[in-house]
């Protein structure tokens, strides 16, 4: 057997660039595959992909992701955003991609094109989104969250874990800290992290991001989270109620504003948005994540699933308007309804549609 070629001292010395194409699979999960680009006579740093259109369209087997039939399984990957690769380092990249059938139509779980079509109808409003992704770190051996005793007994009731420190309160911090640093390296607009109410439950925030970039950045942050957790031997659970009983579920609270809401008199625009959101409540709930009714019971800091409410500083409402927004007379509001497993393109697109472009069509599911 011939000897393997000597490994380079550093990936940066390779005359190649690795692009990890990332997309949303048929159940809303994150998928990826790597493509290597070679160029003789140059260093990898000279292989520059400065914008998504510089990268070639690629493909994958959609029959293995529930996005195409076996007899016509090719699904195309269209690059839409480029990020630095925090796992391989420079000059390698992560490529957020949109999955489409050969005819150009979006495949199952791809709602990016629909959301972009809604945003593009009123670009002057410059919608900003800040998304709070809650999740549980799970022990794959026990199927229980990190911090739950392996003997099957219950941990101490929720109270001591929120924003806490100490080995008796905080479980999996190494994953969350590494994810934070990886997102920063990648160039994602991550704005914070904190431990949540239940053992092994955490949150990070993405934003503010404008328009379609909010969905791109949340999806890529989810991919990075799964990669980091994989390294540490944890599974990521974004089901809205993974633990039955007196435990908080997981949401994806979405903070939203438009240019009109951020200007003087914006509070009146926000209240007008409440009038639009109320009759469209169930249209939103159908698109705000699966099994969300298990979380939205009116307790554990949630509103009722089937009733729209809003208030100032009230975390038991569908929508919360902050004290600072009330005092300033302008700002943003927090939609507390989205589940942790929501599709960010659906949620951001629906908020903008209902509040700003009511004539836009609903997405085809």
> What is the structure's pLDDT at 13?
66
Q: Helical H runs in 140-297?
A: 173-186, 213-232, 259-262, 266-277, 281-285
* pLDDT, tens digit, 9 for 90 and up, residues 208-234: 999 999 999 999 999 999 999 999 999
Mean pLDDT of 15-32: 96
CB distance 66 to 29 below 8 Å: no
The DSSP 8-state label assigned to residue 163 in this structure reads: T
Mean pLDDT of 130-134: 98
> What is the structure's pLDDT at 282?
98
Measured distance CA(149)–CA(261) in Å, rounded:
47
pLDDT category at 1 given cuts 50, 70, 90 is: very low
Which residue has 């493909």 as its token pair? 59
Closest CA to 211 of 284, 111, 126, 130: 126
Mean pLDDT of 143-151: 94
3-state secondary structure of 194: strand
269 has pLDDT over 50: yes
Mean pLDDT, the chain, integer: 94
Mean pLDDT of 149-166: 94
> What is the structure's pLDDT at 11?
55
The secondary structure of 294-342 as a DSSP string is GT-BS-SS--BTT---EEES-TTSSEEE-HHHHHHT---EEE---BTT-
CB distance 165 to 239 below 8 Å: no
Q: Are strands 58-61 and 74-84 parallel, antiparallel or unpaired?
A: antiparallel
CB atoms within 10 A of CB 113: 17
CB distance 94 to 220 below 8 Å: yes
* pLDDT, tens digit, 9 for 90 and up, residues 162-186: 999 999 999 999 999 999 999 999 9
The fraction of the chain above a pLDDT of 90, given in percent, is 90
**Phi, psi for residue 185 in degrees, rounded to 5:** -60, -40
> What is the structure's pLDDT at 205?
98
pLDDT category at 25 given cuts 50, 70, 90 is: very high
Q: At what angle do helices 344-356 and 112-119 cross, to 10 degrees?
A: 30
CB distance 285 to 307 below 8 Å: no
Which residue has 């633990």 as its token pair? 243
- What tokens appear for 279 in the block? 């009759």
Mean pLDDT of 115-125: 98
pLDDT category at 14 given cuts 50, 70, 90 is: confident
64 has pLDDT over 60: yes
Closest CA to 267 of 312, 207, 309, 307: 312
CB atoms within 10 A of CB 100: 21
Mean pLDDT of 196-205: 97
Closest CA to 161 of 188, 131, 194, 186: 194
Distances (CA, A) of 322 to 31, 144, 328: 36, 34, 10
CB distance 193 to 202 below 8 Å: yes
| Of 4 and 90, the one with more pLDDT | 90
pLDDT category at 4 given cuts 50, 70, 90 is: very low
Top-ranked range on mean pLDDT: pick from 11-25, 31-45, 66-80: 66-80
> What is the structure's pLDDT at 12?
56
Please state the pTM of the whole predicted model: 0.95
6 has pLDDT over 90: no
Measured distance CA(17)–CA(72) in Å, rounded:
30
> What is the structure's pLDDT at 7?
47
């Amino acid at each position: 057997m011939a000897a393997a070629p000597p490994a380079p001292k550093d990936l940066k010395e390779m005359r190649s660039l690795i692009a990890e194409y990332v997309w949303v699979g048929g159940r809303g999960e994150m998928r990826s595959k790597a493509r290597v680009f070679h160029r003789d006579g140059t260093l990898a740093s000279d292989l520059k992909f400065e914008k998504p259109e510089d990268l070639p369209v690629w493909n994958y087997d959609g029959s293995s992701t529930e996005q195409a039939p076996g007899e016509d399984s090719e699904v195309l990957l269209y690059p839409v955003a480029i990020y630095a690769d925090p796992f391989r380092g420079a000059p390698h990249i992560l490529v957020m991609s949109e999955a489409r059938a050969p005819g150009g139509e979006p495949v199952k779980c791809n709602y990016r094109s629909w959301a972009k079509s809604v945003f593009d109808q009123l670009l002057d409003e410059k919608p900003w989104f800040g998304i709070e992704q809650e999740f549980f770190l799970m022990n794959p051996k026990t199927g229980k969250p990190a911090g739950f005793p392996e003997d099957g007994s219950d941990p101490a009731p929720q109270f001591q874990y929120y924003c806490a420190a100490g080995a008796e309160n905080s479980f999996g911090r190494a994953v969350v800290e590494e994810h934070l640093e990886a997102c920063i390296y990648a160039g994602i607009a991550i704005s914070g992290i904190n431990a949540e109410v239940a053992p092994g439950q955490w949150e990070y925030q993405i934003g503010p991001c404008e328009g379609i970039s909010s969905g791109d950045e949340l999806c890529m942050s989810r991919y990075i989270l799964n990669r980091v957790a994989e390294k540490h031997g944890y599974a990521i659970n974004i089901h809205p109620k993974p633990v039955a009983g007196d435990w908080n579920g997981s949401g994806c609270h979405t903070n939203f504003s438009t240019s009109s809401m951020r200007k003087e008199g914006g509070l009146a625009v926000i209240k007008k948005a409440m009038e639009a959101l109320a009759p469209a409540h169930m249209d939103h709930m159908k698109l705000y994540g699966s099994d969300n009714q298990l979380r939205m019971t009116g307790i554990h800091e949630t509103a009722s699933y089937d009733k729209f409410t809003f208030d100032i500083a009230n975390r038991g409402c569908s929508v919360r308007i902050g004290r600072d927004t009330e005092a300033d007379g302008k700002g943003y509001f927090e939609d507390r309804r989205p589940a942790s497993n929501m599709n960010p393109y659906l949620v951001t697109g629906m908020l903008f549609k209902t509040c700003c472009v009511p004539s836009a069509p609903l997405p085809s599911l």
